Amino acid sequence: MTDKPLIIVEDLAKTFVLHNAEAATIPVFQDLTLQVAAGECVVLAGESGVGKSTLMRSIFGNYLPTQGAVKVWHDGAYVDITQASPHEVLEVRRRTLGYVSQFLRVIPRVPTLQLVMEPLLENGVSSEEAKDRASELLSALRLPQAHWDLPPATFSGGEQQRVNIARSFIRKYPVLLLDEPTASLDAENRAIVVRLINEALAEGAAMIGIFHDLDVRDAVASRLFEVSQFKAAA
């Protein structure tokens, strides 16, 4: 484990340009700086619309910031997500940078068990080991075994979210982004997710999270990061 921060966000700014509204601009944040160390869960705080999800998507590489850098510690060096090629970004996501969102991007006709195994198979883990780990996680998250051979497209929102969590935690990502991971879950499954998060932190993962559930937030947060302090001038 390195003693360097696993995530460094430097002087980040994001402004949206509305090309269908005479190029009107919506500034979100500016000069945003953040570092996250191994074993730390930084929870993004601030009212709705302040830019928490925009920051998460900028770190993951879904949004291109207007300025600044997003550096992720990957293979013994920093990769700036804002400057990396699409191939480099995909490689960082495959092995280092995980993302748990509120929504599962369902692949039609792919059985749940196979979908959860996929991140391990992509990283060279044997099918037998991946199946054992996927089964263990799906059982821990109380998804009925009768569902495992079915595609999750027809599952309830809570069931799909459990599949999403199993898929995200099956690989021990060094860096993990958590965007409302307990949305749609009951109290018992929320407690299981809290345990998974804290186990990953104990093993040295660095996390950035958004949580509207204050009990979950307080159970996993190392510190709060107020995004509104970097609010861009309109």
Q: Does residue 22 surpass a pLDDT of 80?
A: no
Contact by Cβ (8 Å): 230, 30? yes
**Domain annotation covers residue 230:** yes
**Domain annotation covers residue 186:** no
Rounded to two decimals, the pTM is 0.91
**Domain annotation covers residue 151:** no
Contact by Cβ (8 Å): 130, 119? no
pLDDT digits (tens, 9 = 90+) for 117-126: 999 999 999 9
Closest to 31 measured CA to CA, from 51, 49, 44, 14: 14
Q: How many domains does the chain have?
A: 1
**Domain annotation covers residue 218:** yes
* Angstrom distances, CA of residue 152 to CA of 89, 135, 146: 27, 15, 12
Q: Does residue 35 surpass a pLDDT of 80?
A: yes
**Domain annotation covers residue 234:** yes
Question: Taking residues 51-68, what's their average pLDDT?
Answer: 95
Average pLDDT of the chain?
92
Cβ count within 10 A of residue 224: 13
Looking at residue 234, its pLDDT comes to: 66
pLDDT digits (tens, 9 = 90+) for 146-158: 999 999 988 888 8
Closest to 211 measured CA to CA, from 185, 173, 172, 174: 185
Q: Does residue 21 surpass a pLDDT of 80?
A: no
**Domain annotation covers residue 158:** no
CATH number at residue 83: 3.40.50.300
Q: What is the domain range of residue 6?
A: 1-94+206-234
**Domain annotation covers residue 174:** no
Looking at residue 184, its pLDDT comes to: 84
**Domain annotation covers residue 90:** yes
- φ, ψ (nearest 5 deg) of residue 41: -115, 110
pLDDT digits (tens, 9 = 90+) for 163-181: 999 999 999 999 999 999 9
d(CA 59, CA 22): 28
Q: Does residue 1 surpass a pLDDT of 70?
A: no
| Confidence at 231, pLDDT banded by 50, 70, 90 | confident
